[in-house]
Chains A and B, each alone.
Chain A
Amino acid sequence: MAKSGNIVRISGPVVEADLPDARLYDVVKVGESKLLGEIIKIVGNISVIQVYEDTSGLKPGEPVVSTGEPLSVELGPGILQNIYDGIQRPLKDIEKQCGGVFIKRGIDVSPLDRKKKWNFKATVKTGDKIKQGDIIGTIQETELIEHRVMSPQEGRVDSIKSGNYTVEENVGTLSYEGKKYPLKLYQRWFVRKSRPVTEKFPPRIPLVTGQRIIDTFFPIAKGGTACIPGPFGSGKTVTQQSLAKYSDTQIVVYIGCGERGNEMTEVLKEFPHLQDPKTGKPLMQRTVLIANTSNMPVAAREASIYTGVTIAEYFRDMGYDVALMADSTSRWAEAMREIGGRLEEMPGEEGYPAYLARRLAEFYERAGRVRCLGSKERYGSITIIGAVSPPGGDVSEPVSQNTLRVTKVFLALDASLAYRRHFPAINWLKSYTLYTDGLEEWYGENISTEFTKMIKNAMILLQKEAELQEVVQLVGPDALPEKEQAILLVTKMLREDYLQQNAYSDVDARCELDKQYQMLKTIMKFSERTNSAIDLGVQLKKIQDLPVISTIGRMKEIVDMDEFEKLQKQIDTGFDEVSKR
């Protein structure tokens, strides 16, 4: 039922065509070179199309053909380890078809490899009654991840057989209410619609990221949402990449939305060499990359976020914990603004379309910890971590504000911290998390109830430091009483030896929770001992000269947990000595 018509007008990525009976959001092929586009507005017989490729040279009168289907992604084995553009075309295959390094127009490649045979093991039998979302079989897609093939449909299994199949071959059939449905290894899903679940739950388990400032002070829950706003150069991308590398999820979907080409290349070159901390296998085996760099067509950038989140939902439905990194959602919003402008829509705040807030909320709402669809109990989650790039670093602009309203964790990146090479440059006074209460129980059971107390005390010290710094700015540090100077000594330790973490260090790039606990315990012990020593009348100068301070300064490098016990003993002996004299 392919409908066709002709181009009437061209203005940048927006094309108007005379296309009778068109449906909103259907995908169309535009012009002689068959550029991919999507219908975004219909006025009478005229369809307004956003084209995912450069429209130079297109002429009025050229044909437009509708595929009769909305923009969808292919979900099946072969997604992992792949790198896609914004509309799920594998960049590797594009390179092959273009025969060069530049992306030419009108390239048509299928998202999943049509030739590759997958070893499918059926887990249901002929005669079984299954529901939508039930697992009908598995494929070992990579060494790390077992791909669970789910039934798109309720019914009775007529036939099913294990064996080697390509994605298009039938592995069996299903009948429901007299109709027969073929079972395949892949399915298609409309990207702008979220995939259904049985039930959503409040998040209760932390996403362990291995980043001290996040895990300790601003934990993100599995199934939660977080945003990272910050001006350029404050380390958004490094933070996002650290989270992608070191967080304890099974699947990572990384969307490079309107960002730098060289940065995506870095991810591409680096991930195959990075090892999964648990299994030692390359991280790439659990990763899907979506790269729509800033100079690639703007309409595909708009679609890239939806493509990514739909893929994430598919793996969640298998029962996996998925982390989705979107870098950056501001570029996505700008793509909406650009297209909105071409459509001559009435702009809202700062030229952004009026539906910006709704789109952002809809996107973040696709996160969550869920009971998956299907008759057997299965739980999965999507955690969304979105970077925001506010102009000039000022978060009062619409994208930041609308994001803050829906996300629960706010990691405020701070340029002044970045200037002094304090990384991750997350400002501990401005950031917040709303998951602390929900996660307290988990931390208590799995780490120590003492941990949450220490965290609160450490935070109080850091806040106190900010107040004291104001005084110091006026009168100098020596005017403070010794007790307050001691606070500054401890908070300096907290900042330099705890909050700072080197993403490029072999040992320190990922810090396990028990090490975090020990490190914080060491500093807090030092703080307590300092306090009581000063009460005893020990001079602060003597404490400052304790050799243990420089040992603490190098505790990030510790690998063996027993070392911490020694370190804490060293603190005790050091203080015992100065208190004696």
Chain B
Amino acid sequence: MKEYKTINQIAGPLIFVSDVTGVGYNEMVEIMVPGGEKRKGQVLDVGRNIAVVQVFGPTTGISTSQTTVRFLGETMRLGVSSDMLGRAFNGLGEPRDKGPNVIAKEKIDISGLPINPYSRESPNEFIQTGISTVDCMNTLVRGQKLPIFSGAGLPHNQLTVQIARQAKVRGTGEKFAVVFAAIGITHEEASFFMRDFEKTGALENAVLFLNLADDPSVERIITPRLALTTAEYLAYEHDMHVLTLITDMTNYCEALREISSARQEVPGRRGYPGYMYTDLSTIYERAGRVKGSKGSVTQIPVLTMPGDDKTHPIPDLTGYITEGQILLSRDLHRKNIYPPVDPLPSLSRLMNSGIGDGKTREDHKGVSDQLYAAYANGRDLRSLSAVVGEEALSATDRRYLKIADEFEKRFVQQGSYENRDIDQTLSIAWDLLSILPEDELKRVKRDHIKKYLNKKEE
């Protein structure tokens, strides 16, 4: 182990150590601050005898003469074990719950290796979340990464815990675990999650990594990687089905930008670094199912869109990597509808492989497409009727208006402890479709109409 006292520059979270030899890229570093405090860091750039070290934690108190830097000779690793279940850790993986240190079964590099696309299994098992808008129209499957795009003040935390509480695969009793990574969220939010996990008994099957708003922002780069390393270990070594919740990815990206600007890199869009897409992909792509293992990693990252703008770089780049998105709408929230999932801009790319006969029900796809089209049409007509009045619309159009209203009230709206199974969800959907004349139901198969549509006497 090499020790140096040769810091010659300190800039934000970065320190520059000179006259070093044999230091590796991405190597871990320990910094001894005068007064005995120890901090961690990582090598960002090394060459011509100078190493640039990114410090996890504040750089206050670090001086050019009194501080010792120790290079540990290995990249950042996390000691993992199945004993981690039921425990809470801080953003650097140290116990936070006053429990003992975890005895590591294995030490794994937290940056992870890319999964060989050839070794992946395609995700096709339906996860029932008990939420109609998700199950019917944006189905989640095992091994998928499906983010929640939210905005400040929307109930995304409530929705996240509801999914964590209710998610299950139909008719199986397989091993299930939740890995929760909090990135830069407030103490209040964190305790909301903790309370809910404790109350529902989910905590014993959960591993928590908490980086709170007042923790050092650089740690935020590490936290999701710790969570995913744990998730991968539980999934691929212990055959568990792991649901990974990460909130809030916006804070992660802010931290990324902060470090990038401290390194004086050429900024990309809105000051975020040009490599943000690649960086985010090394987080999101760590989901899936692989050959030779029963387990799976399913990811639900949450992000708040700055200014509710979907084209902001954070949601934009996320959407290009993840397999769809669940978008929360402020309009629905204002109407007091929970969960305010707007199905139109929401999407699940893996939906088609997880639904249908034998998985959910034969009519699922048709019903979902028909509801989409009907609701989209109804919403268009809503703005039209605001101008010309409802009377000017044709009889069919008025029915579309009605279906849009009823859809929001009966289908989208549900209680935060209401767990609808897929049959219940689909029967509400058929109930709604019965509002429309049968000729308009072009996207459902005719025999399904016969089988499932209850004719109502008018």
Contact = CB atoms under 8 A, between A and B. Distances in A.
Interface of A: 8-12, 16, 54-61, 83, 91-92, 94-95, 98, 100-104, 231-233, 256, 258, 260-266, 268-269, 291, 293-298, 331, 334-335, 337-338, 341, 344, 347, 350-351, 389, 391-394, 415, 418-421, 472-479, 496, 504, 550, 553
Contacts of A496: 442
Contact of A59 (B25, B285, B383): B25
A258 B279 CA distance: 12
B26 A91 contact: no
Given A337-B268, A472-B384, A553-B442, 16 more contacts: A8-B48, A59-B46, A60-B22, A94-B118, A95-B116, A258-B278, A258-B281, A265-B121, A291-B117, A293-B285, A294-B278, A295-B286, A351-B266, A351-B267, A420-B376, A476-B388
B347 A233 contact: yes
B68 to A, nearest CB: 21
A391 B117 contact: no
A337 B122 contact: no
Interface residues on B, range: 35 or more
Contacts of B224: none
Interface string B8-51: 00000000000001111111000000000000000011111100
Interface in B345-376: 345, 347, 349-350, 352-353, 365, 369, 372-373, 376
B195 interface: no
B439 interface: yes
4 closest cross-chain pairs (CB), A and B: A9-B47, A392-B311, A294-B281, A420-B376
A101 B24 contact: no
Contacts of A16: 47
B428 interface: no
Given A391-B311, A476-B388, A294 B290 contact: no
Contact of B393 (A296, A334, A476): A476
8 contacts: A58-B24, A60-B21, A91-B118, A95-B118, A101-B119, A264-B117, A391-B317, A393-B311
A109 B349 CA distance: 33
Contacts of B323: 260, 262-263
B274 A101 contact: no
B143 interface: yes
Contacts of A10: 25, 45-47
A53 B323 CA distance: 25
Residue of B24, B111, B273, B376 with most chain A CB atoms under a 10 A cut-off:
B24
B120 interface: yes
A260 B285 contact: yes
B313 A101 contact: no
A8 B45 CA distance: 11
A83 B113 contact: no
Contact of A265 (B117, B317, B324, B373): B117
Nearest to B275: A338
B114 A103 contact: yes
Contacts of B285: 260-261, 293-295
Contacts of B442: 496, 553
B238 to A, nearest CB: 15
Nearest to B318: A232
A56 B387 CA distance: 61
B19 to A, nearest CB: 12
Nearest to B350: A262
B29 to A, nearest CB: 14
B55 to A, nearest CB: 18
B278 A334 contact: yes
Given A233-B347, A419-B345, A553-B442, A11 B274 contact: no
Nearest to B443: A421
Contacts of A58: 24-25
B306 to A, nearest CB: 13
Given A57-B26, A338-B274, A102 B115 contact: yes
B442 to A, nearest CB: 6
Interface in B114-142: 114-123
A95 B291 CA distance: 11
Contact of A101 (B115, B349, B443): B115
Given A334-B278, A341-B274, A389 B320 contact: yes
A420 B268 contact: no
B25 A101 contact: no
A261 B345 contact: no
Contacts of A351: 266-269, 274
A455 to B, nearest CB: 24
Nearest to A83: B118
A420 B75 contact: no
Contact of B321 (A294, A298, A550): A294
